[in-house]
């Protein structure tokens, strides 16, 4: 009975402290992947790519990397192909840098958020009164 109580306390402590772990690992993956993009990845399909965020699964085995492109949605498919071709190298480097038990499998997805924000900003600027009000 005493052993079960100790196990229960340990499990509860892990559940409380583990809530932000996927977010922390996502930040580390984003930072490391950003450095790889600047320093090591020379694929021309990845030029003009900006990483926006990473979302990790709770078990830290899968991650989704969101990116934007300077030339918009038109070059997103080519950028995804570039990331896929370099995925083995990326995964190996992230595994070495972060030293996690399992190196996460990464999926890459275009993030239209910045593009949408620029479009909304342009619409707001166009509808702004030109007077001094």
* CATH entry 3.30.300.20 includes domain 2-127: yes
pLDDT at 18: 54
Higher per-residue pLDDT: 64 or 133: 64
- pLDDT (tens digit per residue) in 39-73: 999 999 999 999 999 999 999 999 999 999 988 88
- Domain ranges in the chain? 2-127
Instruction: Report how far apart the first and last C-alpha atoms of the chain are (Å, whole number).
Output: 75
pLDDT at 78: 94
- pLDDT (tens digit per residue) in 64-101: 999 999 888 888 999 999 999 999 999 999 999 999 89
- pLDDT (tens digit per residue) in 20-34: 999 999 999 999 999
Higher per-residue pLDDT: 71 or 9: 71
Quick one: three-class SS letters along the chain? CHHHHHHHHHHHHHHHHCCCHHHHHHHHHHHHHHHHHHHCCCCHHHCCEEEEEEEECCCCCEEEEEEEECCHHHHHHHHHHHHHHCHHHHHHHHHHHHCCCCCCEEEEEECCHHHHHHHHHHHHHHHCCCCCC
With beta carbons less than 8 A apart as the criterion, state whether 82 and 43 touch.
Answer: yes
């Amino acid at each position: 009975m005493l052993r079960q109580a100790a196990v229960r306390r340990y499990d509860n402590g892990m559940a409380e402290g583990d809530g932000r772990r996927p977010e922390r690992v996502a930040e580390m993956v984003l930072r490391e992947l950003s450095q790889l993009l600047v320093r090591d990845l020379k694929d021309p399909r990845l030029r003009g790519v900006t990483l926006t965020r990473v979302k990790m699964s709770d078990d830290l085995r899968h991650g989704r990397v969101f990116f934007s492109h300077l030339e918009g949605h038109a070059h997103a498919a080519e950028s995804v192909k570039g990331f896929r071709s370099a995925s083995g190298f990326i995964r190996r480097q992230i595994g070495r840098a972060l030293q996690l038990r399992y190196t996460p499998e990464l999926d890459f997805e275009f993030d239209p958020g910045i593009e949408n924000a620029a479009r909304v900003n342009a619409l707001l600027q166009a509808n702004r009164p030109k007077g001094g009000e």
